[in-house]
Amino acid sequence: MAEATIRDVARYAGVGVGTVSRVLNNSPSVADTTRSKVLSAIEILNYSPNQTARRLSSGKTMAIGVLVPFFTNASVVRRLQGIVEVLADSDYDLVLFDVEKTQNRDKLLTNIASRKMVDGLLILSLRPHDRDMQRFLQAELPAVLVDANHPQLSRIVVDNVWGAETAVNHLIDLGHTRIAYISDYRENPFNFSPTSDRYAGYCHALQAAAIPYNPNYYREGALDREEARHLAHDLLTLREPPTAIFAYSDTQAIGVLQAAQDLDLQIPQDLAVIGYDDIETAVYLDLTTIRQSLYESGVKGAQLLLEIMQTPLTEPVEIKLPTELIVRKTTMTSEVIYTA
Amino acid sequence: MAEATIRDVARYAGVGVGTVSRVLNNSPSVADTTRSKVLSAIEILNYSPNQTARRLSSGKTMAIGVLVPFFTNASVVRRLQGIVEVLADSDYDLVLFDVEKTQNRDKLLTNIASRKMVDGLLILSLRPHDRDMQRFLQAELPAVLVDANHPQLSRIVVDNVWGAETAVNHLIDLGHTRIAYISDYRENPFNFSPTSDRYAGYCHALQAAAIPYNPNYYREGALDREEARHLAHDLLTLREPPTAIFAYSDTQAIGVLQAAQDLDLQIPQDLAVIGYDDIETAVYLDLTTIRQSLYESGVKGAQLLLEIMQTPLTEPVEIKLPTELIVRKTTMTSEVIYTA
DNA sequence: CTGTTAGCGCATTCAC
DNA sequence: GTGAATGCGCTAACAG
């Protein structure tokens, strides 16, 4: 038995396809009697409208794309969960685009815009090129950036400079002067802006405290626990090792903790560690960190996109989410613990 | 400037739309000269084929649906990462369906099958109803179950009975007899089969060791850390508290660890704890657990689905993934630690 | 090899 | 209110 089409329903109900379509779309201008005839035909034939056909003729895809770099990244996942939460209650499908490789990124951004694959786009932690912007604007594709910045796009951001400064100031307040920073790659193909912002925050804080910047104390590597572990190992085996390490992400901070354990260092006596994100694991490990509202950023981003899709904005808006220092055991001894 | 269509390209290149279509689809039967004419027209007009139209006329959506219960669940996320990894290299888009609520589930399963929303479907940790099966078969929708079981569908499974037995046997081997089990709800609207399997494993192991089943030592609650923490608290404040707790998931085991901490119990001396899954956090917390190949289950599931979509199977296959006991510090004292 | 044509299934005009 | 006709943009089958 082949799938029933709108035509089958029309024939069975003894009406025209137009009427069936009206019933499907809850048009008010259908007599109750015909409506029920159609509905029962639909029931009997077990009919269900074909999405694709509906999309083509209506010109809308009823789908929202979410562009995600490194889906294995804990903070990205958390943001995505917020997005899922919002979209699940909407009428839109969620199409997930993962861009691990740069070439994927370019191909995708080009296609998504010009092929009308989605009605709206959320871009996580990724700054689009200017040429992609042209495509979005030209295709009139509503898009919202989450955790990334571009003057021409609406966006959900956090103040990464402030966050990093706060982290480093916390270490300085505790008396540290040999403060290292393990960063993500600042020069990355994804144009990831938080990286340079946090670096700036690190530098500012040192400068404000008149602590000279020590190039040896700056390391960068992939956003990966193992790599951070190695970088931290290098730092901690310097002739004059740092007494505190600020890590770009909690994931990397965990690598630092492992390196400290490898070297039998006491936390926080021998080494203070502070991360960034406040992912769930940070709680269990009692990791001092900078909390950013990951989940909420996804929620806000999705909500904003839905609004924009309904009533386009005249110019991009920016929603800034708060950032907060969460002090736990990796920077301060236990008598002053913050309890989650 | 309106989007260019295939007709514009054809006109500009001075050929028929059929030829343009052939060029787009890399048909070998196009003369090199005409091909290049078409290609340059495409370039100049900045043309890019409309996905939806292509889908309608070809009858394929070039999309794969992934049905996910509770996207906030760590193990689900891990499996999904495996799926994403595979699909990113395919030509298929990934449409994510989250079903937190039961009503969503039913509506989705019905629609996905009958509306031809996707060419293939991956269902995570969810056992479809028989009536949904009918829809899949009728719609000839290739589907693969990951971490769920149904005789009519191909599936990636693990032996949950064996896994739970192994966990409990480990505790028994360590001399425990007062062994509690904190489970997910066995009666759940999602027909989640691992729940009953692990319960069976728990019971078997006790029985084989001639340890009487103590109803007081069985608790169930949501797959949630906080809830597990409360359940564990109840268990640990019994007049005769258990000396070991087996938790349905690592997430719940972490809740148990917190409860132990709340009560100032030493792990593993006062209480042994074993989880299930081996999520990343388990490593950091040195949690003894049953490892199942979460990521790999996603990879295998996606690969299997792609195969089935290419060449349909005559009957469902079952791929069983291994399960492994990972002993860490929450069950044994440190001199015999397993190091990750 | 290539142009033409007929749908794909539905929404949306129009007349009635 | 309702039916018939037109087109969304493309693929595929059919002639040439």
Torsional class of A143: left (φ above 0), alpha (ψ -120 to 50), beta (otherwise): beta
Provide the pairing of β-strand A323-326 with A288-292: antiparallel
Specify the pLDDT at position A191. Answer: 67
Measured distance CA(B131)–CA(B105) in Å, rounded: 13
A44, A46, B60, B96, B140 from A4: Cα distances, Å: 10, 7, 17, 26, 14
Across all residues in chain A, what is the average pLDDT? 91
Residue among A49, A52, A284 minimizing CB distance to B285: A284
Residue-wise pLDDT for B151-188, tens only, equals 889 999 999 999 999 999 999 999 999 999 999 998 87
Structure tokens at B7: 């007709």
Specify the pLDDT at position B334. Answer: 61
CATH code: domain B6-58 is 1.10.260.40
C-alpha B62 chain-centroid distance: 21
Q: Which residues of A touch B (CB under 8 A)?
A: 1, 3, 46, 48-53, 55-56, 61, 63, 71-72, 77, 80-81, 84-85, 88, 93-98, 100, 104, 110-111, 114-117, 138-139, 254, 280-281, 284-285
Give the closest residue to D2 (Cα–C1′).
A19
Q: Do residue A52 and residue B56 have CB atoms under 8 angstroms apart?
A: yes
Going by pLDDT thresholds of 50, 70 and 90, the confidence category of residue A339 is very low
Is 3.40.50.2300 the CATH classification of the domain at B63-158+294-321? yes
Structure tokens at A332: 């301060």
For residue A320, how many C-alpha atoms fall within 13 Å in the half-sphere facing its CB?
Answer: 9
Across all residues in chain B, what is the average pLDDT? 91
Q: Which residue has the tokens 């994510």?
A: B96
Specify the pLDDT at position B186. Answer: 87
- Averaged pLDDT for residues B188-207: 87
Task: Please state which of the ranges A133-142, B52-61, B62-71, B301-310 shows the lowest mean pLDDT.
Answer: A133-142
Q: Which CATH number fits domain A160-293: 3.40.50.2300, 3.40.50.300, 3.40.50.720, 1.20.1260.10?
A: 3.40.50.2300
Measured distance CA(A168)–CA(A173) in Å, rounded: 9
Specify the pLDDT at position B2. Answer: 65
B248 contacts B273 by C-beta, under 8 angstroms:
no
- Averaged pLDDT for residues A317-323: 95
Secondary structure element (H or E) that encloses residue A112, with its range: helix A102-114
Q: How far is the CA of B204 from the C1' of C8 (A)?
A: 56
Specify the pLDDT at position A221. Answer: 94
Q: Which residues contact B212 (CB under 8 A, 6 or more apart)?
A: B206
Q: Residue B329 pLDDT > 60, yes or no?
A: yes
Specify the pLDDT at position A337. Answer: 42
Measured distance CA(A224)–CA(A226) in Å, rounded: 6
Cα-Cα-Cα-Cα torsion B232, B235, B238, B240, nearest 10 degrees, comes to -120
Check for a shared fold between A6-58 and A63-158+294-321: no
Residue-wise pLDDT for A228-271, tens only, equals 999 999 999 999 999 999 999 999 999 999 999 999 999 999 99
Searching chain B, which residue's CA lies closest to the CA of residue A340? B258
For residue A86, how many C-alpha atoms fall within 13 Å in the half-sphere facing its CB?
Answer: 20
Q: How far is the CA of B47 from the C1' of C7 (A)?
A: 24
Q: Which residue has the tokens 């590597």?
A: A221
Chain B residues whose CB is inside 8 A of the A46 CB are 114
Specify the pLDDT at position B191. Answer: 67
Query: Strand, coil or helix: what is B219?
Result: strand
- If one compares B130 and B54, the residue with the highest pLDDT of the two is B54
CB atoms within 10 A of CB A284: 17
Specify the pLDDT at position A177. Answer: 96
Residue-wise pLDDT for B301-315, tens only, equals 999 999 999 988 889
Q: Residue B81 pLDDT > 80, yes or no?
A: yes
Measured distance CA(B121)–CA(A80) in Å, rounded: 21
Specify the pLDDT at position A130. Answer: 80
B143 contacts B135 by C-beta, under 8 angstroms:
no
Chain B residues whose CB is inside 8 A of the A94 CB are 95-98
Domain range list for chain A? 6-58, 63-158+294-321, 160-293
Specify the pLDDT at position B219. Answer: 97
Q: Residue B136 pLDDT > 90, yes or no?
A: no
Q: Residue B337 pLDDT > 70, yes or no?
A: no
Q: Residue B133 pLDDT > 90, yes or no?
A: no
Q: Residue A335 pLDDT > 60, yes or no?
A: no
Q: How far is the CA of A13 from the C1' of C6 (A)?
A: 27
Residue-wise pLDDT for A170-215, tens only, equals 999 999 999 999 999 988 777 677 898 999 999 999 999 999 999 9
Q: Where are the beta strands (DSSP E) in A80-192?
A: 93-98, 120-124, 143-146, 154-158, 179-183
Does nucleic acid strand D have an atom less than 7 angstroms from the CB of A33? yes
CA distance B301 to chain A (A): 17
Specify the pLDDT at position A120. Answer: 95
C-alpha A105 chain-centroid distance: 15
Measured distance CA(B160)–CA(B193) in Å, rounded: 9
Could you tell me the pTM of the whole model? Answer: 0.91
Residue-wise pLDDT for A97-156, tens only, equals 998 777 777 778 888 888 889 999 999 988 888 887 877 777 789 999 999 988 889 999
Q: Which residue has the tokens 């997910």?
A: B184
CA distance A56 to chain B (A): 6
Structure tokens at A268: 């926080």
Report how far apart the first and last C-alpha atoms of chain B are (Å, whole number): 59
Written as one string, the DSSP assignment of A229-275 is: HHHHHHHHTSSS--SEEEESSHHHHHHHHHHHHHTT--TTTT-EEEE
Residue-wise pLDDT for B30-39, tens only, equals 999 999 999 9
